A = this chain, B = another copy of it.
């Protein structure tokens, strides 16, 4: 495919006007052709109006029609795999194997949501039958289910150029819910965005979907994103990125004349607790697992384990094992210069506060990061909140807690997290119970004897957590449950059966699992 360097505004290409730039290969510094042209507010408005118009038709599509559309998107992406991987590798420095795996995950998500909407029970249909004879007033017939919210803006994540970008989890769940999507491409991987965006456009055409159901807009700075979030046609926002960026969007959305939900997945340090019994029994294995989790993908995951808490016993040996493991892991190229700069600033700041236990040098000028592990004592950690801040990349702080009380005090003081992991054995049970009761209030996902990286895409997954891990910890951005972020409940009262949506009709023509008169059927 010959890249054009322009947005897709429905079926036509954008005209730009908002500033040009070229993507850069972070490993070589080489500029990649073509130049990308940012949009102006006028084209943002055009895309939003098209989405609003498309919403009227698209919200009426059946589960089967939406499923066919999602599967066609996946097929189109599959067909462009080599092209995507080539460009993605150049734009992100992610290795080819990772790019192919991420392509697989992206298509898996699209097909999973296809299954979810084809099966259809996600709408949570509930029916209460009328009782015309009830005194003092007759009981009406009341039926309700999830319906699409309307146009959704999706911001691409820098660290998942496919799986949380143009046709990633947010887009897949919004389209599945019945919402048009307007994507704000990430400036660091515009070529990947254009290829995937073109794949989606092809699927729109093939499936005869309304033009405005999908657009992807380029922008050099924050103007395009801000204009999108402020546009009156937009009904919700999906975002994966920094806390600063996410909070800015939350504030913008809350200040609208009509506030809208922002589903922002922002930051986490994903604490790992190693309890005394586990340390004694298998400290070496845990150290190995930790180093693997820490360094996976040059540490560029929101589930990277940035804090590890241990007791005193065995801690010295554990730190040595970690240091040895880290030393064997070569530095890697980060996603873009901004991330590399933040990482080096972060570890620079931490090295003034904590002991450096292990460090692999990476060349900041070449956007490299090597793994770094710091050490601190609980008292120092508790006295300085900045020691719990995220250092996005392969960096972690080992905190030594002298006794159970300190460990629990630390847990109690943690900010909201995506995950919290605990390594324990039978002999740790009493402490485990007290600790997990605290962590349940702090995190979206609790991991037993494991590490937080690797977010399984499945029905039970929760990838979310209390602020500041996400904007609203009530939901998840991974797995089928993500779909209801882009829906709202609508109720039909006393409607004749023929005028009800199929999901709510008496004979249950779609064969859904429903709650009828309070009972699951």
Interface residue ranges, A against B (CB under 8 Å): 56, 59-60, 115, 121, 126-128, 137, 139-140, 142-144, 147, 149-150, 250-251, 254-255, 258-259, 261, 416, 432, 436-437, 440-441, 443-450, 454, 456, 458-462, 464, 466-468, 471-476, 481, 484, 487-496, 499, 513, 515, 517-518, 520
Contact A476 B489 (CB under 8 A): yes
Partner pick for A436 among B432, B468, B499, CB 8 A cutoff: B499
Q: Which of A143, A149, A490 has the most CB of B within 10 A?
A: A490
Return chain B residues, CB-CB under 8 Å to A471: 259
- Of all A-B residue pairs in the complex, the 6 with the closest CB atoms, nearest first, are A462-B491, A254-B254, A126-B460, A445-B491, A128-B458, A142-B460
Contact B517 A459 (CB under 8 A): yes
Contact B142 A449 (CB under 8 A): no
Contact B261 A446 (CB under 8 A): no
State whether A140 and B456 are in contact (beta carbons under 8 Å apart), knowing that A489-B476, A494-B449, A520-B513 are contacts in the complex: yes
Contact A441 B150 (CB under 8 A): yes
Question: With the chains together, A121 CA to B515 CA distance in Å?
Answer: 11
Known: A128-B458, A128-B459. 4 other contacts (CB 8 A): A56-B437, A462-B489, A462-B491, A476-B489
CB-nearest residue of chain B to A150: B441
Partner pick for A261 among B458, B472, B488, CB 8 A cutoff: B472
Contact A446 B128 (CB under 8 A): no
Q: Which of A121, A127, A150, A473 has the most CB of B within 10 A?
A: A473
Q: Tell me, rounded to whole Å, the shortest Cβ–Cβ distance linking A501 to chain B.
A: 9
Partner pick for A143 among B255, B259, B460, B481, CB 8 A cutoff: B460
Question: With the chains together, A212 CA to B274 CA distance in Å?
Answer: 33
Contact B499 A448 (CB under 8 A): yes
Q: Which of A150, A448, A513 has the most CB of B within 10 A?
A: A448
Q: Which of A137, A471, A491, A492 has the most CB of B within 10 A?
A: A491
Question: With the chains together, A448 CA to B489 CA distance in Å?
Answer: 17
Return chain B residues, CB-CB under 8 Å to A251: 254
Q: Tell me, rounded to whole Å, the shortest Cβ–Cβ distance linking A244 to chain B.
A: 14
Question: With the chains together, A475 CA to B59 CA distance in Å?
Answer: 19
Return chain B residues, CB-CB under 8 Å to A461: 128, 142, 144, 491
11 A–B contacts from the bound complex (CB under 8 Å): A60-B437, A121-B520, A140-B456, A144-B462, A144-B481, A258-B467, A258-B468, A259-B467, A432-B499, A444-B488, A447-B493
Q: Tell me, rounded to whole Å, the shortest Cβ–Cβ distance linking A281 to chain B.
A: 15
Contact A496 B446 (CB under 8 A): no
CB-nearest residue of chain B to A125: B460
Partner pick for A474 among B115, B261, B445, B466, CB 8 A cutoff: B261
Contact B128 A450 (CB under 8 A): no
Return chain B residues, CB-CB under 8 Å to A255: 254
Return chain B residues, CB-CB under 8 Å to A59: 441
Partner pick for A456 among B121, B139, B149, CB 8 A cutoff: B139
CB-nearest residue of chain B to A429: B499
Contact A448 B258 (CB under 8 A): no
Contact B489 A464 (CB under 8 A): yes
Q: Tell me, rounded to whole Å, the shortest Cβ–Cβ distance linking A435 to chain B.
A: 11
Question: With the chains together, A121 CA to B513 CA distance in Å?
Answer: 14
Q: Tell me, rounded to whole Å, the shortest Cβ–Cβ distance linking A457 to chain B.
A: 10
Q: Tell me, rounded to whole Å, the shortest Cβ–Cβ distance linking A484 to chain B.
A: 8
Q: Tell me, rounded to whole Å, the shortest Cβ–Cβ distance linking A423 to chain B.
A: 11
Return chain B residues, CB-CB under 8 Å to A436: 499
Question: With the chains together, A139 CA to B460 CA distance in Å?
Answer: 12
Contact B254 A490 (CB under 8 A): no
Q: Tell me, rounded to whole Å, the shortest Cβ–Cβ distance linking A61 to chain B.
A: 13
Partner pick for A460 among B144, B444, B487, CB 8 A cutoff: B144
Return chain B residues, CB-CB under 8 Å to A466: 258, 488
Question: With the chains together, A59 CA to B441 CA distance in Å?
Answer: 10
Contact B456 A473 (CB under 8 A): no
Partner pick for A490 among B462, B488, B495, B499, CB 8 A cutoff: B462
State whether A254 and B261 are in contact (beta carbons under 8 Å apart), knowing that A128-B459, A460-B491, A490-B444 are contacts in the complex: no
Q: Tell me, rounded to whole Å, the shortest Cβ–Cβ distance linking A439 to chain B.
A: 10
Return chain B residues, CB-CB under 8 Å to A476: 489, 491
Contact B250 A448 (CB under 8 A): no
State whether A492 and B446 are in contact (beta carbons under 8 Å apart), knowing that A128-B460, A436-B499, A459-B126 are contacts in the complex: yes
Partner pick for A448 among B450, B460, B496, CB 8 A cutoff: B496
Question: With the chains together, A484 CA to B474 CA distance in Å?
Answer: 9
Contact A456 B489 (CB under 8 A): no
Partner pick for A127 among B56, B144, B460, B496, CB 8 A cutoff: B460
Q: Tell me, rounded to whole Å, the shortest Cβ–Cβ distance linking A254 to chain B.
A: 4
